[in-house]
Amino acid sequence: MPLPPDLHVHSEWSWDAPIGHMERSCERALEIGLPGIAFTEHADWVTIHNGQHVLDIAGYHEAIERCRAQFMNLRILSGVELGEPHWFPDQTRDVLAAGPLDRVLGSIHCVHIGDDTVDASQFRLRPADEQPGAIREYFRETLAMVESSEPFETLAHLDYPKRYWPDDLQPYREQDYEEEIRAILTAAQRRGLVLEANSTRGEEGKLSPGLTVLRWWYQIGGEAVSFGSDAHRPDNVAGGFGLATQVVAAAGFKPAPDPMSLWRR
Ligand SMILES: [Zn+2]
Ligand SMILES: [Zn+2]
């Protein structure tokens, strides 16, 4: 199966990618025969982690232009990963107005639990009996983002908390949240969103979403799927794409003749 473009990659322009590297990620993409790469840097406005900084969107656009001039044989797409854009409509508008972006991802990383704003990577620090409620809140917030009018075209890592599900609990199961997930998929289909298959840089069992949800997406009439490794360093570009393409094909989606195109039903 030909490798699709990696449409979710971070570089040094993302606050959580200190060893990210735009040029070396382009070199890596060429080395492994990818048709293209999209640098979708974090545009986050919730401050959760120390050392978090706001995206320098002007500097980022210049870096994209430098790489396009340097790597003429690679399709280099610009982009951002908006974090909770419906909480930050003004900031979202400003970042999108700073220059043309080929890919705009909508992501939920954080939810409100009581008075706290919690990143899903921190759910596991909470008591075991709070995990399912936190996951439900994650899906509720995702639905709110999808139903908002914020301008993104791809729904990124739909079941992101799965990445951080505690090992000592019984395994995470999509079926336990079927109603919530189907509501999101239905709203996403209505809006014409693309569903991302996020390969979590090749970590085993962390395809987000996995086959069960991709099949639901197909059943309800979802049109398109994109592939994103969520690499935060050059080595991880397209990590896990071998398996991800097989799973997405098993759900019923097919590559188009143009290798830069999304996979469609
Ligand atoms: Zn993300
Ligand atoms: Zn990301």
Q: pLDDT, tens digit, for every residue of 120-175?
A: 999 999 888 999 999 999 999 999 999 999 999 999 999 999 999 988 888 899 99
Nearest 5°: the CA angle 57, 61, 67 is 140
Closest ligand by atom to 107 CA: 1
Tell me the average pLDDT across 19-48. Answer: 96
pLDDT for the residue numbered 53: 86
Ligand 2 center–CA 227 separation, angstroms: 12
pLDDT for the residue numbered 1: 77
Burial profile 93-104: b = 16 or more Cβ within 10 angstroms, e = fewer:
eebbeeeebbbb
For the entire predicted model, the pTM comes to: 0.97
Whole-angstrom distance, CA of residue 64 vs CA of residue 41: 11
Closest ligand by atom to 106 CA: 1
Ligand 1 center–CA 136 separation, angstroms: 18
Q: Is the pLDDT of residue 242 over 90?
A: yes
For tokens 């791809």, the residue is 154
Ligand 2 center–CA 236 separation, angstroms: 12
pLDDT for the residue numbered 51: 78
Q: For residue 154, what are the β-bridge partners?
A: 105, 194
| Residues, CB-to-ion distance under 5 Å, ligand 1 | 107
Q: Is the pLDDT of residue 211 over 90?
A: yes
Ligand 1 center–CA 198 separation, angstroms: 9
Name which residue leads in pLDDT, 231 or 48: 231
Tell me the average pLDDT across 64-70. Answer: 98
Closest ligand by atom to 163 CA: 1
Whole-angstrom distance, CA of residue 144 vs CA of residue 88: 13
Ligand 1 center–CA 107 separation, angstroms: 6
Six token digits for residue 165? 């599900």
Closest ligand by atom to 201 CA: 2
Whole-angstrom distance, CA of residue 118 vs CA of residue 110: 5
Ligand 2 center–CA 186 separation, angstroms: 23
pLDDT for the residue numbered 66: 98
Question: How many other C-beta atoms can be found within 10 angstroms of the C-beta atom of residue 187?
Answer: 17
Q: Is the pLDDT of residue 183 over 90?
A: yes
